A and B are shown apart, each in its own frame.
Chain A
Amino acid sequence: MFQPILFTISIAFVLMIGMASCSEGSSPKQPDPAAPSSTPAPIKTYTHKQILPSTPIATLTTLPITKKKQSQNFPKDRIVKYSSTPSPLTYEKLTSQFPVTIIARDGNEIVFNKAPERIIAYDAAAVETIFAIGQGHRIIGTHSWVSYPVEVENIEKIGDAFNMNIERILDLDPDLVFLFYPTFKEELEKAGLKVLLLESIDDDLMKMANTFRTWGQITGAVNKAEILAKNFEARIVEIQLILDPYHSGPSIFQDVGDLWTPGNNTLMGNVFQLLKLKNIAHDVDNYGQLSPEIIIDRNPQIIISSTPDLLYQNPAFNKLLPIKNKSIFKPNNDYLGISGPRFILGLEELANEFYPGLFK
């Protein structure tokens, strides 16, 4: 009971400081919650306004206390775990301190004596994060499926998501190669490169904020990364608080193509749990192709799919409500498909779509 309240207060508090220090010291501290950060975004195409809500503190502080009482009915096994309970009461303006030690996916420690200047980031989420914290100039290579932000056009593409031109990588002489999956790790390490793989965030949505912080530590932009992470966490908490009085929402089926669907132990499954949507594929491990008769039997109230036409065309499904009403929701793939700074936009898009009027 005590922890969420403390958590919320601390988040609000930290956000206030965070917003104020957004200008990285150039302007004096003026914690005026009503005024959005006036700092121009370091890169024109990447607008922080898109990521940062205009008045997040106002919404957070006006949340009525009465809802907290109701939250006692909250299911005991809280589905969304707080893997990263920040200690924000002691938050001060951070200074980057090199050497920095990062724990990689395999548990090994990777030490950075200074911020890497030539990064090959083989992952769309990493590229977006690095740009969002204003360090995009460090990226010298990525893969051809990365298309955001616009500056990526000028960055060299070293293969597609599943293949890479290792000779070209060696030629570019990067001081850090970030990978999303370990296929080429050993080969690159043998060639004497510094390779980084971070912990998978698939099982826990909240770990995404830690990834932002890690990138801040690596590149030295700790403050911007902290703001990004705090903002992410605050907006998640906001969704949780608004949904707190409600026990369960509608049931959902997500078709990611040919009836493949995410189970509960995936990032999308996590999103559904946060939004209190009942995933009809709750007994699917990771991703699986759900049997059509199971879909009909479990009768989802919401369907989301990026290829709705295939579902509309199949006569077997035409008695399902979302198909009868032609209301299959087509989410913005760029948001929920990439676990970067825009992920929260995708989350809020779903929240607005399925709880109309509840969120602003």
Chain B
Amino acid sequence: MKSTTNTNDQDLVLPYKYPWNKITIGIIIIFICAVIGVAVGSVYIPVTSVLLILLSKLNLFNGSIELTPAWHTIIWNIRFPRVVLALLVGASLGISGATYQGLFKNPLADPYLIGVASGASLGATIIFLSGIPFTYGYFSLLPIASFCGGIVAVFIAYLISIKSNNTHLSTLLLAGLAIGAFATAITGILMLRSDPDLRPLLSWLMGGFIRAQWSHSILIMPYIIIGVSFILGYSRILNTMQLEEYYAESLGVNTEKTKRILIVSATLVTAAAVSFSGLIGFVGLIAPHIIRLLWGTDYRTLLPLSGLMGAAFLILADLAARTIVSPIELPVGIITALVGSPFFVYVLLKTKGSTVDGY
């Protein structure tokens, strides 16, 4: 309780006001980012044409779109699905990152550090290399295989932490790290042993949205909605989990059950994000910290805002990745690290007075 500051006490006492104004601002920012993301690209298309193409898709306009079928394809089949997928993946990584940080009370926790993403990509790699057709209309085995891989990784880490009698949150983190490294090694072996003809498929592990299609967003949407609603539903309980466990239990919280539900939900969300965009680091780590430094550690505010932050950040990062060295694309992970870390340091310095505690 020593670390609990006055503001936190007030938050617990005063009636909580949901941060609708911040969320509204966040949604507006995302909307602006998305518009920029659709309007700008390596092929120049005038903004008016972009608007006309989008209006024609909404059946509000039937004009001379047929004159530029290439532009139509670029806007509707390349840029727009890309922006939407980046939005979903960024939001997923932001929210699951914040959840893991809160759950493990550790500022370094993020989906990539605790082995979830490595496990998920191992699951996806196995599906890729097994040669079974994994897409059936609007159903795909890929997110499910990723989820299985991710949940197995977390579950093993969880068992290890229960077996050892240490303070099991840091053990869980370290065990997750070890499992993640192990899964990455297995993925590497599978890739080396694989049929050379299948290797191009595996470049998806590098991460990025160059292959983004509408169907990808539709395929991962249900998993993200289910996972995110569980996480947001538990955000109030996640606040109490920031106390020592026996305090939380004395408030009537079933800590073991809460942990399990939150781990499964966050893993589901991460796995969905990983399954079509590959490994994109840094978003899940940075977005929650920036929100935490700016607006405090209340998870009811932190979780949704981290999602919005992650989404906006990833849309812009992907925009940069595909335009900076046009006509070539850069891996989006380069941009997230290149832009993310200095910005993060800036926020750290700017908010020197406030505390990063509260895990």
- A299 CB, min distance to chain B CBs, angstroms: 7
Do B329 and A289 have beta carbons less than 8 Å apart? Answer: yes
B137 at interface by CB-CB < 8 Å: no
Q: Tell me the B209-240 residues at the A interface (CB within 8 Å).
A: 210-211, 213-215
Q: Mark A313-348, 1 if CB is under 8 A from B, else 0.
A: 011100100000000000000000000000000000
Would A288 and B77 be within 8 Å (CB), given that A259-B210, A314-B213 are in contact?
no
Do B73 and A291 have beta carbons less than 8 Å apart? Answer: no
B107 at interface by CB-CB < 8 Å: no
Do A291 and B199 have beta carbons less than 8 Å apart? Answer: no
Contacts of B73 in A (CB 8 A): 296, 316, 319
Do B211 and A281 have beta carbons less than 8 Å apart? Answer: no
Contacts of B215 in A (CB 8 A): 315
Do A310 and B70 have beta carbons less than 8 Å apart? Answer: no
Q: Which residue of A lies closest to B203 (CB)?
A: A258
B79 at interface by CB-CB < 8 Å: yes
Most chain-B Cβ atoms within 10 A of its Cβ — which of A293, A306, A319?
A: A293
State the CA gap A179–B69 with chains docked (Å). 49
Binds A, one of B4-12, B97-105, B261-269, B320-328: B320-328
A257 at interface by CB-CB < 8 Å: yes
A284 at interface by CB-CB < 8 Å: yes
State the CA gap A336–B148 with chains docked (Å). 41
Q: Is the interface of B mostly helix, strand, loop or mixed?
A: helix
Q: Which residue of A lies closest to B79 (CB)?
A: A293
A292 at interface by CB-CB < 8 Å: yes
B43 at interface by CB-CB < 8 Å: yes
Q: Which residue of A lies closest to B192 (CB)?
A: A160
Do A290 and B197 have beta carbons less than 8 Å apart? Answer: no
Q: Which residue of B lies closest to A257 (CB)?
A: B200
Contacts of A296 in B (CB 8 A): 43, 70, 73-74, 78
- B53 CB, min distance to chain A CBs, angstroms: 13
Contacts of A310 in B (CB 8 A): 200-201, 211
Do B43 and A290 have beta carbons less than 8 Å apart? Answer: no
B41 at interface by CB-CB < 8 Å: yes
Contacts of B170 in A (CB 8 A): none
A167 at interface by CB-CB < 8 Å: no
Do B197 and A294 have beta carbons less than 8 Å apart? Answer: no
- A286 CB, min distance to chain B CBs, angstroms: 10
Q: Is the interface of A mostly helix, strand, loop or mixed?
A: loop
A283 at interface by CB-CB < 8 Å: yes
Q: Which residue of B lies closest to A314 (CB)?
A: B213
Do B70 and A299 have beta carbons less than 8 Å apart? Answer: yes
State the CA gap A259–B70 with chains docked (Å). 18
Contacts of B328 in A (CB 8 A): 284, 288-291
Q: Mark B68-87, 1 if CB is under 8 A from A, else 0.
A: 01100110011100000000
State the CA gap A47–B69 with chains docked (Å). 51
Do B327 and A306 have beta carbons less than 8 Å apart? Answer: no
Q: Tell me the A28-70 residues at the B interface (CB within 8 Å).
A: none
Do B211 and A258 have beta carbons less than 8 Å apart? Answer: yes
Do B74 and A293 have beta carbons less than 8 Å apart? Answer: yes
Q: Mark A113-141, 1 if CB is under 8 A from B, else 0.
A: 00000000000000000000000000000
Do A284 and B327 have beta carbons less than 8 Å apart? Answer: yes
- A346 CB, min distance to chain B CBs, angstroms: 17
Q: Which residue of B lies closest to A316 (CB)?
A: B77
Q: Mark B249-273, 1 if CB is under 8 A from A, else 0.
A: 0000000000000000000000000
Do A291 and B200 have beta carbons less than 8 Å apart? Answer: no
A297 at interface by CB-CB < 8 Å: yes
Q: Tell me the B151-200 residues at the A interface (CB within 8 Å).
A: 192, 197, 199-200
Do B70 and A291 have beta carbons less than 8 Å apart? Answer: no
B351 at interface by CB-CB < 8 Å: no
8 Å CB contact of B42 from A258, A294, A307, A316: A294
Do B41 and A293 have beta carbons less than 8 Å apart? Answer: yes
Would A316 and B78 be within 8 Å (CB), given that A284-B327, A290-B327, A297-B70 are in contact?
yes
Q: Which residues of A contact B (CB under 8 A)?
A: 160, 256-259, 281, 283-284, 288-294, 296-297, 299, 306-307, 310, 314-316, 319
Nearest 10 Cβ contacts at the A-B interface: A257-B200, A288-B328, A316-B77, A294-B327, A258-B203, A293-B74, A297-B43, A291-B42, A293-B43, A289-B329
Write 6 A-B pairs (CB below 8 A) sorted by A numbering.
Answer: A284-B328, A291-B43, A292-B210, A296-B43, A306-B197, A310-B200
